């Protein structure tokens, strides 16, 4: 495909889908990888992460050819004030299969729709995956943050994030209200006066493919347990159905000696259940209870799979336990497709000051590289970031919490990581 305002690198090859009969992607040693620096602090952390990721790839005998794309503020500057997500940005990611992006700003209560959600839905990136692990030297509010080693799988395309809403005071919301009250018989459910309404779709397709991804990940990465997290005791036909469909996947699609679908009573009567020795156990937990178990029994949980909203809450809560979202990586996966992105927001007040922490975006790049099969590059990135932080060379957000820290700029921090890559390679 030809592009209007996007420059395609002269060198490098695209990542492509493997030939028929083979699984996965065909990944060259010099791939073209699209990158969106992002809004706010994206202008600081984007170039810093790009530098570190290039260095790590080079240190392991590879070369990344970056393809700069635009979304949010950069798109409005490049394409016009009414363009937030250009078609060619979406098509470039679609064509090249993998990409990485910084944070994009979404106005609260007004303005345009979330660009992050739009990208996930348009590209059918149905699994938002966030590994949460502790890095030595990061200040944490927990007594034992090193016990956290959890991976959350968040359904990405439906639930309340589907964006099916009607604003109070509109003709549309009154039509929906009348239908719900008069046609469906819920005439005592809603308060009188202005009201906003929304739909919460949770489908069999969306639920099962998300749970399948989580179980496959657990099997491939020697994880012991997958926990389905929902609020099915209250929302029986949406969240409860998510749990039912997820347990069907575990029970019907995998051999019994590979995946064990736990009964509801397992967490109370574990000694009475015979679990195959090497099987991945799949269980269910209620979302509100899970928020406390994550803190009280952190080391008992491994992989979590959940609907969209629960996944947003619980992955952020997990990130807080290891020091905050400033170091929390993430990526969105679809069928032979990956868009890596940090968990944190755009923090516009800190934009352009060369002080923001790029660790989350760098570690999101690690996820992208591992998706490409570059596990050695990914491990090198983690080790170099951890060595930099543990030595006390950190950006302002961590420096203010440590007495022994050397506070450095975003640029200097990235350079320190690159130096450690040289030392470790």
The model's pLDDT over 147-203, given as tens digits with 9 standing for 90+, comes to 999 999 999 999 998 889 999 999 999 999 999 999 998 877 789 899 999 999 999
Active site residues: 161, 231, 288, 312
CB 173 within 8 A of CB 164: no
Distance CA(369)–CA(403), nearest Å, equals 34
Is residue 178 part of an annotated ligand binding site?
no
Is residue 420 part of an annotated ligand binding site?
no
Residue 190 lies inside a defined structural domain of this protein? yes
Q: Which of 274, 304, 321 is the last residue of a domain?
A: 321
Residue 325: predicted pLDDT: 81
Examine the domain organization and report whether 309 and 210 are in the same domain: yes
Domain coverage including residue 2? 1-138+325-425
Is residue 223 part of an annotated ligand binding site?
no
Examine the domain organization and report whether 286 and 360 are in the same domain: no
Examine the domain organization and report whether 77 and 223 are in the same domain: no
Q: How confident is the model at residue 272 (pLDDT cuts 50, 70, 90)?
A: low
Distance CA(416)–CA(338), nearest Å, equals 28
Q: Answer yes or no: is pLDDT of 99 > 70.
A: yes
Residue 117: predicted pLDDT: 84
Average pLDDT, the chain: 93
Examine the domain organization and report whether 8 and 130 are in the same domain: yes
Examine the domain organization and report whether 129 and 169 are in the same domain: no
Residue 256 lies inside a defined structural domain of this protein? yes
Distance CA(106)–CA(114), nearest Å, equals 5
Is residue 154 part of an annotated ligand binding site?
yes
Classified as helix, coil or strand, 47 is helix
Residue 160 lies inside a defined structural domain of this protein? no
CA distances from 98 to 95, 208, 311 (A): 9, 23, 23
**In terms of DSSP H, where are the helices of 224-358?**
239-252, 287-296, 308-321
Distance CA(66)–CA(75), nearest Å, equals 17
Examine the domain organization and report whether 291 and 219 are in the same domain: yes
The domain that holds 242 is classified in CATH as 3.40.718.10
CB 32 within 8 A of CB 118: no
Q: Answer yes or no: is pLDDT of 141 > 60.
A: yes
Q: How confident is the model at residue 81 (pLDDT cuts 50, 70, 90)?
A: confident
Q: What is the pLDDT of residues 392-411, one digit of tens each?
A: 999 999 999 999 999 999 99
Specify the residue for token string 């592009």: 3
Q: Answer yes or no: is pLDDT of 275 > 80.
A: no
Residue 343 lies inside a defined structural domain of this protein? yes
Residue 380 lies inside a defined structural domain of this protein? yes
% of the chain residues with pLDDT over 90 = 82
Residue 190: predicted pLDDT: 87
Examine the domain organization and report whether 368 and 292 are in the same domain: no
Examine the domain organization and report whether 194 and 217 are in the same domain: no
- The pLDDT of 75-95, averaged and rounded, is 93
Is residue 120 part of an annotated ligand binding site?
yes
% of the chain residues with pLDDT over 70 = 95
Residue 36 lies inside a defined structural domain of this protein? yes
Examine the domain organization and report whether 125 and 274 are in the same domain: no
Examine the domain organization and report whether 116 and 171 are in the same domain: no
Is residue 409 part of an annotated ligand binding site?
no
Residue 383: predicted pLDDT: 98
Q: What is the pLDDT of residues 209-231, one digit of tens each?
A: 999 999 999 999 999 999 999 99
Examine the domain organization and report whether 270 and 363 are in the same domain: no
Q: What is the pLDDT of residues 300-345, one digit of tens each?
A: 999 999 999 999 999 999 999 999 888 999 999 999 999 999 989 8
Neighbours of 151 (CB within 10 A): 22
Q: What is the pTM of this model?
A: 0.91
Total domain count, the chain: 3
Examine the domain organization and report whether 224 and 338 are in the same domain: no
Residue 278: predicted pLDDT: 87
Dihedral (Cα; 381, 57, 34, 209), 10-degree rounding: -60
Longest Cα–Cα distance in the chain = 70
- What the block records as the tokens of 123 is 């590209």
């Amino acid at each position: 495909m030809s592009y209007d305002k996007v420059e395609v690198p002269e060198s490098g090859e695209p990542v492509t889908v493997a030939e028929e009969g083979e699984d996965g992607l065909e990944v060259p040693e010099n791939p073209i990888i699209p990158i969106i620096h992002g809004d706010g602090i994206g202008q600081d952390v984007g170039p810093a992460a790009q530098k570190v990721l290039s260095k790590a790839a080079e240190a392991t005998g590879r070369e990344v050819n970056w393809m700069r794309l635009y979304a949010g503020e950069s798109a409005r500057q490049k394409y016009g004030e009414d363009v937030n997500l250009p078609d060619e940005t979406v098509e470039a990611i679609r064509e090249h299969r993998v990409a990485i992006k910084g944070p994009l700003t979404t106005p609260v209560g007004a303005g345009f729709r979330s660009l992050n959600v739009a990208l996930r839905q348009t590209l059918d990136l149905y699994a938002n995956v966030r590994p949460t692990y502790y890095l030595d030297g990061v200040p944490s509010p927990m007594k034992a943050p090193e016990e956290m080693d959890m991976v959350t799988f968040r359904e990405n395309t439906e639930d309340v994030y589907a964006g099916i809403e009607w604003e109070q005071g509109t003709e549309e919301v009154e039509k929906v209200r009348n239908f719900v009250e008069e046609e469906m018989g819920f005439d005592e459910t809603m308060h009188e006066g202005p009201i906003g309404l929304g739909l919460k779709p949770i489908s069999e397709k969306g639920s099962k493919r998300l749970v399948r991804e989580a179980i496959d990940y657990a099997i491939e990465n020697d994880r012991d347990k997958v926990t389905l997290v929902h609020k099915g005791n209250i929302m029986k036909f949406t969240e409860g159905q998510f749990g039912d469909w997820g347990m069907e996947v575990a029970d019907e699609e995998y051999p019994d000696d590979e995946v064990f679908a736990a009964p509801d009573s397992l967490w109370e009567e574990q000694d009475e259940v015979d679990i195959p020795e090497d099987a991945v156990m799949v269980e269910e937990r209620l979302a509100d209870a899970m928020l406390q178990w994550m803190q009280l029994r952190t080391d008992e949980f491994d992989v979590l799979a959940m609907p969209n909203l629960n996944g947003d809450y619980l992955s952020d809560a997990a990130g807080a336990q290891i020091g905050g979202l400033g170091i929390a990586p993430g990526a969105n996966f679809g069928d032979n497709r990956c868009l890596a992105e940090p968990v944190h927001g755009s923090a516009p007040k800190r934009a352009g000051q060369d002080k923001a922490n790029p660790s989350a975006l760098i570690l999101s790049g690690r996820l992208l590289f591992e998706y490409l099969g570059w596990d050695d590059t990914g491990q090198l990135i983690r080790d170099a970031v951890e060595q930099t932080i543990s030595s006390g060379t950190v950006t302002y957000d961590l420096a203010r919490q440590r007495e022994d820290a050397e506070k450095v700029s975003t640029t200097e921090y990235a350079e320190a990581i690159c130096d450690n890559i040289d030392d470790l390679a």
